[in-house]
C-alpha cells in the first residue's frame, strides 16, 4: 500500500527557510525573479510528460507555491497519478505515496509506536506523512476514519500521535487523487476534509493529436523513468517566499471576501465558503500573479482561480442538486454579480 518511487536524500542544512529581504531594499524584485525561474523550470519539466495539460500544471504549481494542497478529481486513466509523480521527480525532495484502500488504517499514514524488547521502551516509527511531497492516491477509497488522519497534517503541518505533537517538513505538499464518488467502492470526502484542500480541479481528456504523442512516448517505456529533478528543495522554498512579496490591495482583499461571503447566502447553497477559502484564494492569486510576471494581484487573477479554489467547498441543498444546480454554476453566477474593484 505504501510506495516511495524516488526519494532523494536531502541535507537539512540546505533547506532552512530563507529570510525575505526588506521591502525597500530592492530585494523583492530579485526574489520574484528567482521564484519565476523555479516555476518555469518545473513547469517545463512536467510538460515533457504531461501533454496538453498546461492549465492543470499551472494550477498545481500555484497551489504548491501558495502553501496549499491539491485534490485531483477525474475519471481513471486521465493522468492524475502521473502528474503527481512528474512533480515529485522534478524536485530534489522526499516523495512518498500511499495507495488508499478500504482496509488502510490511520497508523499506516501517521506512524506507530513499537515496543522494543531491547530497552523496554516504545519507539515511534514515522509513517509516510513525514515527507515533502505526499501522493494520497485514490483517497476516497479509504474509510472516513482513515481519511481524517490527514486533517491535522494538512491544516497545521503537524501530527499528534500518542499525545505527542510532531512537526512535519518545511515543505509539506499533499496531492490527493480521487475518482468520482459515483464509482463503486468510494466514500465521499467529508466537508472538513474538502476544506483542507486549497484547490480541486480535473485534467480531462486531451486532444487526439496529443493522445497520439502520449502513445508514441510510451511505446517502449514510460517517460517518467527518464525524468530528472530540475530544482532543489531550497529553491522551491524560495519560490514560496517569492509569493509573499506580491502585493494585493485592500480593495482586492475586500473583493475576495465579497466573493466568498456571497456563497454563504447564494440560493441553493446549503454551506458556503469559510474564511479558509478567502485565505486560500488570496494566496493562490498572489502565486498566479508571480507566475504571470506581475508584482501585484489583479482582479482577473482572482477570477481565474475562484472556481478551483472555492467550488469544492460548497455544499448544495438537496433540492438544488436534484434540479441540476452545481457549485460551479452557483459560483460563476456570483462572479458575474459581484462588483469588481476599479
Residues 173 and 216 reside in one and the same domain:
yes
Whether 77 has a pLDDT exceeding 50, the answer reads: yes
5 inside domain: no
Lowest mean pLDDT among 121-135, 177-191, 197-211, 234-248: 177-191
Residues 251 and 224 reside in one and the same domain:
no
Lowest mean pLDDT among 59-68, 196-205, 281-290: 196-205
Q: What is the mean pLDDT of the chain?
A: 88
53 versus 309: the higher-pLDDT residue is: 309
Q: pLDDT tens digit string along 91-105?
A: 999 999 999 999 999
At 198, is the pLDDT very low, low, confident or very high (cuts 50, 70, 90)?
very high
Q: What average pLDDT does this structure show over 246-262?
A: 96
Spatial distance between the Cα atoms of 290 and 341, rounded to a whole number of angstroms: 20
**Domain span including residue 324:** 246-342
120 inside domain: yes
Grid coordinates representing 294?
506581475
10 versus 295: the higher-pLDDT residue is: 295
Whether 89 has a pLDDT exceeding 50, the answer reads: yes
Residues 149 and 126 reside in one and the same domain:
yes
Backbone torsions φ then ψ of 116, nearest 5 degrees: -100, 125
Whether 50 has a pLDDT exceeding 70, the answer reads: yes
Q: What is the pLDDT of residue 181?
A: 62
Whether 147 has a pLDDT exceeding 60, the answer reads: yes
23 versus 146: the higher-pLDDT residue is: 146
Residues 85 and 204 reside in one and the same domain:
yes
2 inside domain: no
Residues 221 and 262 reside in one and the same domain:
no
- Boundary (domain end) residue, out of 245, 268, 301: 245
Residues 196 and 65 reside in one and the same domain:
yes
- Boundary (domain end) residue, out of 200, 216, 245: 245
* Most confident listed range (25-29, 84-88, 259-263): 259-263
22 versus 113: the higher-pLDDT residue is: 113
Strand order in the sheet with 133-137: 2-3, 95-99, 133-137, 173-178, 70-73, 199-201
16 versus 227: the higher-pLDDT residue is: 227
Residues 285 and 219 reside in one and the same domain:
no
Q: pLDDT tens digit string along 265-282?
A: 999 999 999 999 999 999
**Taking Cα atoms as reference points, which of 283, 329, 311 lies closest to residue 73?**
311
The tally of domains found in the chain comes to 2
Q: What is the pLDDT of residue 23?
A: 59
Residues 149 and 261 reside in one and the same domain:
no
13 inside domain: no
Whether 221 has a pLDDT exceeding 90, the answer reads: no
Residues 114 and 241 reside in one and the same domain:
yes
Q: What value, to the nearest 5°, has the Cα angle with vertex 29 and ends 26 and 30? A: 95
Lowest mean pLDDT among 20-24, 213-217, 297-301: 20-24
Q: What average pLDDT does this structure show over 73-77?
A: 83
User: Distance between alpha carbon 188 and the CA centroid of its chain, in Å?
Assistant: 18
At 120, is the pLDDT very low, low, confident or very high (cuts 50, 70, 90)?
confident
Amino acid at each position: 500500500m505504501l510506495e516511495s518511487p524516488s526519494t532523494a536524500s536531502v541535507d537539512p542544512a540546505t533547506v532552512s527557510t530563507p529570510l525575505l529581504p526588506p521591502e525597500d531594499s530592492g530585494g523583492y524584485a530579485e526574489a520574484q525573479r528567482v521564484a519565476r525561474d523555479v516555476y518555469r523550470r518545473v513547469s517545463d519539466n512536467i510538460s515533457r510528460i504531461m501533454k496538453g495539460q498546461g492549465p492543470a500544471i499551472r494550477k498545481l504549481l500555484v497551489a504548491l507555491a501558495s502553501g496549499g494542497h491539491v485534490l485531483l478529481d477525474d475519471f481513471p486513466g486521465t493522468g492524475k497519478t502521473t502528474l503527481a509523480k512528474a512533480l515529485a521527480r522534478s524536485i530534489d525532495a522526499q516523495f512518498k505515496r500511499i495507495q488508499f484502500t478500504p482496509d488502510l488504517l490511520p497508523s499506516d499514514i501517521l506512524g506507530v509506536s513499537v515496543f522494543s524488547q531491547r530497552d523496554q521502551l516504545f519507539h515511534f516509527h514515522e509513517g509516510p506523512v513525514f515527507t515533502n511531497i505526499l501522493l494520497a492516491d485514490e483517497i476516497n477509497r479509504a474509510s472516513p476514519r482513515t481519511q481524517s488522519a490527514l486533517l491535522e497534517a494538512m491544516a497545521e503541518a503537524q501530527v499528534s500521535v500518542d499525545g505527542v505533537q510532531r512537526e512535519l517538513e518545511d515543505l509539506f505538499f499533499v496531492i490527493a487523487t480521487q475518482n468520482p464518488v459515483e464509482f463503486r467502492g468510494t466514500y465521499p470526502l467529508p466537508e472538513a476534509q474538502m476544506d483542507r484542500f486549497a484547490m480541486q480541479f480535473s485534467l480531462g481528456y486531451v486532444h487526439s493529436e496529443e493522445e497520439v504523442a502520449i502513445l508514441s512516448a510510451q511505446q517502449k517505456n514510460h517517460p517518467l523513468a527518464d525524468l530528472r529533478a530540475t530544482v532543489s528543495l531550497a529553491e522551491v522554498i524560495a519560490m514560496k517566499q517569492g509569493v509573499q512579496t506580491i502585493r494585493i490591495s485592500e480593495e482586492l482583499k475586500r473583493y475576495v471576501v465579497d466573493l466568498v461571503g456571497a456563497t454563504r447566502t447564494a440560493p441553493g447553497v446549503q454551506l458556503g465558503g469559510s474564511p479558509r477559502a478567502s485565505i486560500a484564494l488570496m494566496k493562490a492569486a498572489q502565486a498566479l500573479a508571480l507566475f504571470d510576471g506581475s508584482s501585484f494581484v489583479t482582479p482577473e487573477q482572482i477570477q481565474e482561480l475562484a472556481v478551483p479554489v472555492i467550488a469544492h467547498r460548497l455544499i448544495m441543498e438537496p433540492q438544488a442538486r436534484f434540479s441540476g444546480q452545481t457549485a460551479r454554476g452557483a459560483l460563476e453566477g456570483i462572479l458575474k454579480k459581484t462588483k469588481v474593484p476599479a
